[in-house]
Amino acid sequence: GRDTGSCAALVKELSLIREEEVYRIDHYLGKELVMNLLVLRFANVAFQAIWNRQYIKSVQVIFKEDFGIAARGGYFDQYGIIRDVMQNHLLQVMALVAMEQPLSFEAEHIRAEKLKVLHSCAPVTLNDLVVGQYTAAGDKLGYLEEASITNKESRTETFAAAVLHVHNPRWDGVPFVLKAGKALTDRKAEVRIQFHRVPGVVSALKNCASNELVVRLQPEETIYWKVQNKVPGLGFEVQQMRMDLMYASRYEKKLPEAYERLLLEVLAGNQSNFVSAVELEASWQIFTPILHQLEEQEVVPEAYTYGSRGP
């Protein structure tokens, strides 16, 4: 769908089929590192203890591509990056990061906890949103210059950054920043969890950077933990280092493709990694008001150069 209303209409059309027989695929839920989020969180006591507002300063869920829309303009210009990536893929990943521990890893229990997170999020407002559109750089065409874009005055966003607020005791005051964009510096999707600085630290350590946990979803699937470490030697110098779990070097087996895994789960009748109708409705309720406002007010996206970090 395009918003809450169109989503409800599509769900109604499918109502002749029982909900437990409907498998709504969001391929991000089939990615190895996304599926590992629940294990990382709930099987490691160290993370369980610090996974809250007392220790976490901010959470970012990031999607970046280093290429433009190419031949997809006919589709993309009708939807934009918020509908294409943010409202579905990134919001689902965010819900897995923020949810409470489910009673089990059965579909009904995982979905129930994700739904609580979505219902705790207020709708996005213009004050918490930046949208952009890429322009030409060198031999790279700008969005409006792409051959597949017929509306040369299009205000469709190719970049968006939105701050979501989860209003519950665990996350009150912690900004969840969703970023998605095309024609940026590089290609990757990742979750970055930044922690507060150490309180009352001694003067020799006052310039140390904050700890950060990064889960790289693609490419080069990796989990790494940024920690402070003394540089070896006779002097005293502290440097931030990475503690890595690189899947390519640690595991010899090839990781299954997301769609491959999800199609196998359809055959097995397992709905744990599929999106329910009520989740869809709750997701659209977060973004529909701002999407309508962008269109009705004809908000002009900020220009950013192809290959840059965005507006």
Phi, psi of 308 (to 5 degrees): -95, -175
Q: Report whether 63 contacts 89 (CB < 8 A).
A: yes
Cα dist from 273 to 23, 28, 92, whole Å = 9, 9, 10
Q: Which of 89, 119, 165, 167 is catalytic?
A: 89
Specify whether 196 is catalytic. no
Cα dist from 53 to 27, 90, 181, 213, 224, whole Å = 29, 21, 28, 15, 21
Q: Which long-range contacts (CB under 8 A, 24 or more apart) does 172-175 make?
A: 172/53, 173/53, 174/53, 174/56, 174/57, 174/58, 174/59, 175/58, 175/59
Element at 105 (helix H, strand E)? none
> How many C-beta atoms lie closer than 10 Å to residue 36's C-beta?
18
Dig out the tokens for 277 from the structure: 């109708």
Q: Report whether 9 contacts 281 (CB < 8 A).
A: no
Q: Report whether 245 contacts 223 (CB < 8 A).
A: yes
Active site residues: 89
